[in-house]
Amino acid sequence: MKVLIVFNHQPYDGSDVAWNGLRLARNLHERGEEVRIFLMNDSVDLARECTLKPESYDHDLVAMLKELYADGVALKVCGTCQARCGIHKNEPYFAPEVKGTMNDLSDWVLDSYRVLSF
């Protein structure tokens, strides 16, 4: 089953929204589901090396995302949002090939069994 998880929130915004979404992605992937992650709005900072874990957080969310990507979870990050969103506007993503488009998101939405938003 193909599952698309769309992230919108800044990674370290004082909530556990991004952390819980990444945990769900990992759990679904470990169960053998085809997981796709699309980052847009301020969540694009999850895909930037310069985004550092604050001391007040227990988990490195960027490292979690990189582990999922390295383990085969599909990842796309909004190309337009790279210059418009997040604390680190205009900073590159950790892998250039993850830069995506609204067409990529549309294709994934249409091809997914479930679409979740965090």
The Cα–Cα gap between 53 and 12 comes to 8
Instruction: Flag whether pLDDT at 40 surpasses 90.
Output: yes
Report residue 35's pLDDT band, with 50, 70 and 90 as the boundaries.
very high
**Above pLDDT 70, what percent of the chain?**
100
Structural domains of the chain in order of their starting residue, each with its CATH number: 2-117 (3.40.1260.10)
Cβ density class 80-95: b for 16+ within 10 Å, e for less: ebbeebbeeeebebbe
pLDDT at residue 118 in the model: 96
**What pLDDT, in 10s, does the model give residues 56-109?**
899 999 999 999 999 999 999 999 988 888 888 889 999 999 999 999 999 999
pLDDT at residue 70 in the model: 98
User: What is the phi/psi pair of residue 70, to 5°?
Assistant: -65, -25
Whole-model pTM over 0.85:
yes
